[in-house]
Amino acid sequence: MERLIAQAAEIICNAKLTMALTGAGISVESGIPDFRSAGGLWSKYNPDEYATISAFRQDPEKVWKMLRDMEELIINARPNRAHIGMGELEKMGFLHYIITQNVDNLHQAGGAKNVIEYHGNSSTLSCLWCEKGYTVEEKKGVYPPRCECGKILKPGVVMFGEAIPPGVLNRSFQIAASAKALMIVATSAVVSPANTIPGIAKQNGAKIIEINKEKTHLTESLTDVFIQGEAGEIIAGLVVAIKERAGLGI
């Protein structure tokens, strides 16, 4: 692994623009299960019944059973070594943008500022009927949370069947087209359109570093450096290797 981390550090130190695409696996060490690993959220809740906008419209109380589970995990979660390490890389000028599919706010809590949230954020709520907005804090502990108009509120996350906010989509493609290095961290890369980002970056000459506890469909097709293992340990090692390489005091 040392050699692979050194290779990744070399790519990142030489890249003018480095971006990251992260998935649920990066927050597993913070106590939030991912979706598709064994024991993941989708092994407990069928996404067709709980994670689509039509399921929410049909039976919001049922969907809030899954959302409540997720919310209670997120409220107690703290950023782990992976989030903190990526925040450090950003501070040192070696990571410029993080595109995350996660809605747990842990990249920001880990110190990163340039975070683009592809699937929204779970800290806000809105009414699909009267469009009034609330924070999760304002409705803390009330399930399902209701709008003053009486309707059940929807969290600010993008559900299956909803569009990614156009500004987020365009910005992510723009960044991917000019990135010289892309770190793909702990995502199965099976959900579109987030999973089109690695191809855009690769087509435009970026070096692809993939960090995952197991191989994905990208590993053999797009990835230049595949580092297998826990995201927290690998990213902590990458920060040390980059500091050493850049002659920054450790």
Say if residues 116 and 168 touch (Cβ distance below 8 Å).
yes
CB of 16 to ligand APR, least distance (A): 27
Q: Are strands 133-135 and 120-126 parallel, antiparallel or unpaired?
A: antiparallel
Q: Please, what's the b/e burial string for 98-119 (b: 16 or more CB within 10 A of its CB; e: otherwise)?
A: bbbbbbbbbbbebbbeebbbbb
* Cα separation, 203 vs 7, whole angstroms: 21
Kindly name the residue from 83, 96, 107, 119 that is annotated as catalytic.
119
The residue ranges that bind ligand APR (CB under 6 A) are 23-25, 28-29, 34-37, 40, 47, 101, 119, 186-188, 190-191, 212-214, 216, 230-231
Q: Which is nearer to ligand APR, 7 or 178 (CB)?
A: 7
Q: Which is nearer to ligand APR, 40 or 111 (CB)?
A: 40
Active site residue 96: no
CB of 226 to ligand APR, least distance (A): 12
* Cα separation, 161 vs 169, whole angstroms: 15
CB of 185 to ligand APR, least distance (A): 7
Written as six digits, the tokens of 99 are 């595109």
Q: Which is nearer to ligand APR, 109 or 191 (CB)?
A: 191
Question: Which residue's CB atom is positioned nearest to ligand APR?
Answer: 25
Q: Which residues carry out catalysis?
A: 119
